[in-house]
Structure 1
């Protein structure tokens, strides 16, 4: 048998397996202690066909074809226990995150709250005003602008995508992978943005762009890793970049966005042959 895909939703995995069975691709499911489901293709000679179906599933996992297949298949050879309790929104949020993801999220909220109360957080955490300061005692300021946000909308938008995409990466690929993406996609785009426009910028946007690019391309190159996004999200990313460079969105850290996106694409390319942790 050959591994096709790993998902953290047993019921969605079962509906996908029912669909594969409906088109003649028999699969087996295994469930680990973290409730992650591995989908294994029985007939390895049809792996290329199955991979195309995996890519289609990642692009549109809620398509009715999968639920319809479950109805047609009826009872399958694998069953998952029903849980009569419906988890609340807080349980759902916590189940989709990890320690690195949550630590950064709480740090951003705390820093925004302290700024709102009048504390000089920008002066403490902003990019230094000169390269000399950065290369001296304030090297950590190459990262900390990523934790600054200048409006509630800016904060909520970035933290939603950080929670969703960062949580996906941390759950499937581990704390180390998310930490590397966070540090590289914060520091390098911040350096680019400072070179272009000076020190008055901030936010997780560069990291969010890196995660968008990384998750999308990883899903295209290696679906078995269990992460991916619809192609429409890649289109959104490019359109938003173009609008930013065109000046339609007002003052935006365009080079930080571009740098983050490129870092995500490059990291996904380097990781294309790796398995999940």
Structure 2
């Protein structure tokens, strides 16, 4: 058998397996201790055909064809009963994150809270007006603007996407992959935004764009790695980027940081396209 895909939604995975079996692509489903569902193709000679179906599923996972297939299978498919021993909402939120993901989330929240209380953190964390200072003991300021947010809405928007996409990447591809994406996207985005507008900027948006691009393109190129993003979400983020460059949103936007993150994510996904899937 050959691994096709890993999903963290067992019910949706089962519907997709039912669909594949319905069209003659015999598949089996296994669950690990974290309730991640792994799809296995029985007939490996039809792997390329199955990959096309995986890409179509990731692009439109809620399409009725998958639920229709589940209904046609009737009671032969697996049922997942509620487990009273499972953690509640907070436990489920924590299960979908990891140490790198959680550390950055808490750091952004702490910086925002301390700044709101009046601590003068901007001068410590912002990108220096003289970039040569980054060659000395203030090197961290090439990264730390990503931790600063100037409104609660800005913070919550970025942290939701960071938690959702960063958690997906960290669970499936490891701590090192998320950390490398974070550092590369933050530093490149900060340099590009400084070049465009000077040192008065901040936010995790450049990193978020890197994660969006990486997750979407990885799902297209190597769906067996278990990460992916529907086309609609990726299109929304690109439209948001274009509106920002066109200055149609009525708010100041770190457009070059967004563009830098997008390029980092796309390039890294392309470079990672032939890497082995973690077991």
Give the Cα–Cα distance (whole angstroms) in 2 for the partners of residues 241 and 5 of structure 1: 30
Q: Who is 1:82 aligned against? A: 81
Q: Distance in 1 between matches of 2:59 and 2:79?
A: 25
What is the match of residue 143 of structure 2? 143
Matches within 5 A, 1:1-277: 1-76=1-76, 79=78, 82-85=81-84, 87-249=87-249, 250-277=251-278
| Structure 1 residue 230 displacement after superposition | 1.1
C-alpha displacement of 1:80: 5.8
1:208 Cα shift?
0.2
1:146: how far off? Answer: 0.2
* Structure 1 Cα separation of the partners of residues 82 and 243 of structure 2: 46
1:26 CA displacement: 0.7
Asked if structure 2 preserves the Cα contact closer than 8 Å seen for 1:10 and 1:80, the reply is no
Q: How far apart in 2 are the matches of 1:55 and 1:34? A: 24
Residue 168 of structure 1 and its aligned partner are, at CA, apart by 0.7
Displacement of 1:272 in angstroms is 0.7
In 2: Cα distance, 1:88 partner to 1:63 partner:
29
9 and 275 in structure 1: CA distance in 2 versus 1, 3 angstrom threshold = farther
Residues in 2 aligned to 1:3 and 1:132: alpha-carbon distance in whole angstroms: 49
Q: 2:17·2:39 contact (CA, 8 Å) conserved in 1?
A: yes
**Any idea what SS the aligned residue of 2:75 has?**
coil
Shift of 1:28: 1.6
Taking the aligned partners of 1:174 and 1:158, their CA distance within structure 2 comes to 21
Structure 1 CA distance for aligned equivalents of residues 138 and 69 of structure 2? 58
Quote the offset at 1:117 in angstroms: 0.6
Deviates more, 1:247-256 or 1:158-167: 247-256
Q: Distance in 1 between matches of 2:39 and 2:83?
A: 25
Deviation digits for residues 223-258 of structure 1 (CA, Å, limit 9, x no counterpart) = 111111111122212211111111123321111100
Show structure 1 runs of 5+ residues with no match: none
Unaligned runs of 5+ in 2: none
Count of residues in Structure 1 that have an aligned counterpart in Structure 2: 276
2:5 partner SS:
strand
What TM-score, normalized to structure 2? Answer: 0.94
RMSD: 1.5
Distance 1:65 1:268 in 2: 29
User: Given that residues 112 and 149 in structure 2 are in contact (C-alpha distance below 8 angstroms), is that contact kept between their aligned partners in structure 1?
Assistant: yes
Displacement over 6 Å in runs of 4+: none
